[in-house]
Structure 1
Amino acid sequence: MDESGLKSLLQHLPVSWWEADRELRVIDSGGGAFDDTRTAQRFLDTVCRDLPGPSTTAGTGHWQAQFDGRVFDVNWPLDRPRQDRTRGMAVEVVPGPMAARRYDAFADLAPAAAFIRDADGRYLWANHAYAHLYGTTPAQVIGKYVHDVDAPADAAQVHALDQAVLARGKPVRHTLTYHRADGTSGHAAGHRFPVREGSQTCVAGIYIDISDHTRALEQRREAEESLCALRDHSGLPCALISAGGRILQASAAAAELLGTRLSDLVGRRADTLLAPAPELLALRRGWRALIGRRSRRIQTSAVLVDAHGRQRRARLHLTAVARSAARASSVWALVTHHSLAHEAYPPLTAAQVRILSLLAAGRSNAEIAASLHLSRQTVDYHLSRLRELLEAPTRCALVARAYVLGILAPQTWPPRSATAGHPHSVT
């Protein structure tokens, strides 16, 4: 903390600090013990007059001084003289009426719940935030005992904690559960510590109500458990991928689809599971749109490569998971449809895919030639080449292979390419 921050802190405490010249004139002062520099000067004059031992132009270290009926611990000088100046500080031992009023007003309206109880569990003081925990006012709490405010089980716990603090004589930090008058429960975290009130040692506490925070954490935990259950038992291949493209989570179905162990899948770069395909460029553009929050979700297709080098075409549903308005932190990837695994074959041309779709629709070679404005011989050549590429001996087998390999979309009629962006597109 720098000097300005320290001065700001001392402004709220029953403390006086000053800087004086060689003639003991106050040049600068502050703290919460006095309201103005004139009072600080009177205090310094009194300190100089009542110095223990021979009078000097500087103090003698540490001693107590009385001023206007108040008692202070005085430290002067605080450091070695600087440019004929000295610094001193005085801490009020028993705060005077003004400091007490200032502290009480500050503590009474502080957002943290605070209280003071005696050894028997009777409330000597409580602020508004503490009373609010129980849905009441400080006047309804002060003077009552713990068992008048808390439920019997809670009161026994509270009293035991008080006795432990008094026995140890040291502060204790903990989180506790309390019950309101309407029967609902809440959670609070803070410190409980011993304080002196007159001639007796009491227990004071300062707590922050963390009920909303605890409830939010519980809801998040339940949501994560539900999501994990859905991920693990739905049977759907899915994975959570970081913005950098690394797999953070994956379902057992995803590992099975890719022919690998789940432990080997998590941590792997997702792009190593993709084979070169015409739609890969569009997938990468869509990914950048998801991470940049220009899109919330996209649907696309891709060719996946399993651990044995076999390929299968899959339908991907990608949804961004955002933690900020500017950038997504991760993306959920879900596979809804996929073809059978197969050895890689050369990519088909747009004309070949269009011929397959027309063949699946029941068109003859002549009709296919007329539709595509090709010669009959060209169509015969393409069909012969397709049977060779897809290892299909007949026209029927060729159509079946086109569907199981994911070349044609199984959910559409008339037949069309599985990679087409529009129902009337060729590819």
Structure 2
Amino acid sequence: MDSGRNGEIQLLPITIATQLPIGMWVTDLDLRFTKVVAGPEVDLLLSRSPAILTQNGRRGYDTRYPQHPDVAAHIRARAGETVTWQTGYGRSMKACVAPLQNFSGEITGVIGTLVDLTSLAEEERRRMGAEESLYALLESEENAIAMLDADDRVLYANRFYLDAANRTLAEVLGRKEPATMRPPSPSDENEGSDEVTVWDTPDGRRLRSRRLRISQSGLDVNFHISSNVSEVERIRRKLERSEEYYRNLLDGISQPVVIVDFERNVKDANEAFVQMVECPKGQLVGNSIVNIVVPSTRDAFNDLVNSVSDEGIRADKGRLLLQSNKRVILVDFSLCLLDDLNDHPVMIWTATGWGEPAVQLSSAVSVSRITDIDGKILELLAAGRSNSEMASELCLSRQGLDYRIKILRDKLQADSRGALVARAYTQGLFVPGEWPPRCHIRDNSSGNEAPD
């Protein structure tokens, strides 16, 4: 470096230098300071350097100690080199020295400058500590997480992310995510929205991803957060299949069935019930079943509901008048109490007989006269047994059996054996889906009649 026109070296003004962690100095060829401009901390560090010696009131570098890095750098600068090195406690300062030349190009000394990097190093340590804490936090998460820059390049990814992507950290750093696993980027309008993407890992797991954007001090960082929803998806598919099985089972029941909660609202109904009341299912489900109960039988309806709710009975039977497409039908119901999947009690109403009120009442009178032995005869007839087999099993004579069958035909208004079985089925005397046939009468009878 050349000295000024008047031979004076113009260094940084003291008022500026003292406010900054820097220092500047000039030495002569004996490496004694001729000018020093430095802030208090830098000046103190220079003074405490073991390479600096004070003689005759002047400070300078101790040339008797040439192996010291500070002295060695100045000796090399005096020889014509420009030298940069780390110095100070913990090598926290960066210094540079160069030869000082006059107008003739002769080296007249050394000029140097130094910057104290202590605060910068401390800031770097804090930054690295914060980064390590962030990475440790990401690694402790059981979700797959990647940190991305504004261009979707991966800055960091935890082990769950790398495992899901089947990649190493070196393979993903600085690269964009594959499009198949990239969640939607939140725009300024929908930042923080729940836009998600679902993608499958190479080993068949299903992950649900969303993106979180963090903007601070003009720096945008995106976090790709993925959670494993394989088990949720499996349960969801299983639930869908269960619902399908339930729907097929409910619609496969030939008798009308309606499911009602204790708020009197219809939860579900099968196709047979919809056809019986001649009302679209959409108008039934979610609405009160009281809407289709004829007002004159609402007290009976409430009594039935109260019997299973207040008295702890799990099943009961009753008869109600229902409004069906501008006509009234009389329905015999079997009512039972069950708990749904959420452990909430619901009532299952099953129609065991229905039709025009006059016909139903007439049938009911006939059915009420059916005895236990009549029920057994109906079961054997429905099973296709011959008269001799029936007489033997019932311990009846052939004449006694014929008489019983004739009386039974009169009760059910049937003109043949086949019609007798058909009438019994239509009037709900047989338990649906049972084989061999089983008669309700025998279930409810308190005893058997003595045979003839």
Under a length normalisation based on structure 2, what TM-score does the superposition of the two structures give?
Answer: 0.46
